[in-house]
Amino acid sequence: MMPITTVTAAEDACLPTIGSLAAALKAAILPDTQVRLDLSAVAGPDLSVVQIVQSARITAERVGCDFALTAPVGDRLRALLHRAGFVPHPHPDHAPFWFHGDTAQ
């Protein structure tokens, strides 16, 4: 079994600081690896967080990396995902990824 690499997003993850999260994900997402992203500390997320995570999901799938969140998103990210259209018009794999299968309501 391959080891799991955990990438932890900083509390201040948002557009001005998103580069560090992007760099950490880029370094971690490699073929035949397992990466878990911990978003639990993110206090004031903006759409850049959602964009980076979505980009990481696509990249991970393309290179054969098992990529997931460590836990379902919290209330702030849930509200942001709702405003961004991930909840009102969900894609079939949004709930399993973002909410670990829980309803997004």
pLDDT tens for each residue of 77-105: 999 998 988 776 667 777 889 888 775 44
The answer to whether residue 49 sits within a structural domain is yes
Phi and psi angles of residue 68, each rounded to the nearest 5 degrees, phi first: -155, 165
Residues 6+ apart with CB under 8 A from 93: none
pLDDT of 92: 75
The answer to whether residue 61 sits within a structural domain is yes
Beta bridge partners of 76: none
Q: How far apart are CA 97 and CA 26, in angstroms?
A: 19
Tally the domains of the chain: 1
Rounded (5°) CA angle 14-85-75: 55
The answer to whether residue 66 sits within a structural domain is yes
pLDDT tens for each residue of 16-73: 999 999 999 999 999 999 999 999 999 999 999 999 999 999 999 999 999 999 999 9
Provide the residue range defining the domain that includes 14.
4-98
The answer to whether residue 16 sits within a structural domain is yes
Under DSSP, the state recorded for 94 is: H
Surface-to-core class of residue 29, CB atoms within 10 Å of its CB (0-12 exposed, 13-18 middle, 19+ buried) = buried
The answer to whether residue 105 sits within a structural domain is no
pLDDT of 3: 84
pTM of the model: 0.91
CATH classification at residue 9: 3.30.750.24
The answer to whether residue 31 sits within a structural domain is yes
The answer to whether residue 103 sits within a structural domain is no
pLDDT of 21: 98
